[in-house]
Chain A
């Protein structure tokens, strides 16, 4: 996560107004019936069929390994399925080994030219995601009890008409 400064209420309201549209999808993650974090698909580009992913867990929550992957798989299945995307990307701070390994476990690959970049770009295609996660999805399906529900109301969307 690149932005780590304290957030005011006004900053929060301004941010929500900026993302309440069809280019951004935010989901509340519930694990074992507890609101645990947020996972998002932002900056959806319909022409390029791509978006950027992000995830945040409440510091008090410690999801287990299956839950960690289960949450991401739920969002990525939505991205590559109903949303019809062909590519996903994430940005990960260099040195965040845990996040890097989790992302690579889903199929993300470090992009060229990131050697001097702190917030490094990883990308994957739908085909790569499907190939890499076959066995993982079977495991998650049998061992995971999570819910990923959309946040926000379509009626309040800021989409221009």
Chain B
């Protein structure tokens, strides 16, 4: 999966337009539920080839944190 597809997948997960997927998008109780978290885990697995522990995913507070995990 390339970055464009990864960003598109994140937009689908958070039910926003692609342009809304930026570092500033906060992950709150409203959009960071269990479905969003497992969906991001699956997307990260496909994008990076790595599985991240659920604790690290749940600790993300913004899209920036997700991108940081992807780059780690």
Contact = CB atoms under 8 A, between A and B. Distances in A.
Interface in B21-65: 33-39, 41-42, 45, 51, 53-55, 57-58
Given A65-B58, A69-B38, A105-B38, A139 B33 contact: no
Given A101-B35, A139-B42, A143-B51, 8 more contacts: A65-B34, A65-B35, A65-B38, A65-B54, A102-B34, A139-B38, A139-B41, A139-B51
Chain A contact surface mostly: helix
Q: Interface size bucket, B side?
A: 10 to 19
Given A98-B34, A101-B33, A64 B54 contact: yes
A143 B54 contact: yes
A66 B33 CA distance: 11
A12 interface: no
Interface of B: 33-39, 41-42, 45, 51, 53-55, 57-58
Interface of A: 64-66, 68-69, 97-98, 101-102, 104-105, 135-136, 139, 142-143
Contacts of A69: 34, 38
A102 B45 CA distance: 20
Given A98-B34, A101-B33, A65 B51 contact: no
A68 B34 contact: yes
